[in-house]
Structure 1
């Protein structure tokens, strides 16, 4: 009976922890770099120039700020839920 319960619980635990593996990934996938490239090229910036490098750095900074904001909002929501357990 104990083995059966263990075999039943392990897949659910594995599935729930599987979501944690992707939590720290940013919202941008490998396609995001292509998007940055196309964005900078659409603004008539030649690849390899100093303006192109600055454009890519600006896009990186914007992405990092968006990730930090999303992380901060998630943390604030968790803190609110911990401090107000009676509110849904």
Structure 2
């Protein structure tokens, strides 16, 4: 009876924590692209604004690519170097 309650509690905890950790989330460190471009005095709709937003998109894409590569490299390392208890 006690072990089934523990198992159920651990299952619910794992599901709750899994929702917090998503590999495909965009990095939050770049902030709001619109606010960034407006802050630099670029008028909305101008060619400079479009270029600014494109640059931010490229930066965000590069950050996601780096994060994915780091995750993949970590998985490869763990598969090649297993620890034996």
Report the TM range for the smaller structure's normalisation. Answer: 0.7 to 0.9
Counterparts of 2:48 and 2:17, CA distance in 1: 39
Unaligned runs of 5+ in 1: none
TM-score (norm 1): 0.72
Q: Name the structure 1 match of 2:31.
A: 32
The alpha-carbon distance between structure 1 residues 65 and 58, as it changes in their structure 2 partners (threshold 3 A), is: same
More displaced 10-residue stretch of structure 1: 45-54 or 58-67: 45-54
Cα root mean square deviation, aligned: 2.4
Q: Name the structure 2 match of 1:55.
A: 52
The equivalences for 1:9-48 within 5 A come to: 9-22=7-20, 23=22, 24-28=24-28, 32-33=31-32, 36-48=33-45
* CA deviations over 1:39-73 (Å, ceiling 9, x no partner): 21232210122221221121011111101101110
List structure 1 runs of 4+ shifted beyond 4 angstroms: none
Q: Which has the higher contact order (CA 8 A, sep 6+)?
A: 2
The alpha-carbon distance between structure 1 residues 73 and 56, as it changes in their structure 2 partners (threshold 3 A), is: same
Unaligned runs of 5+ in 2: none
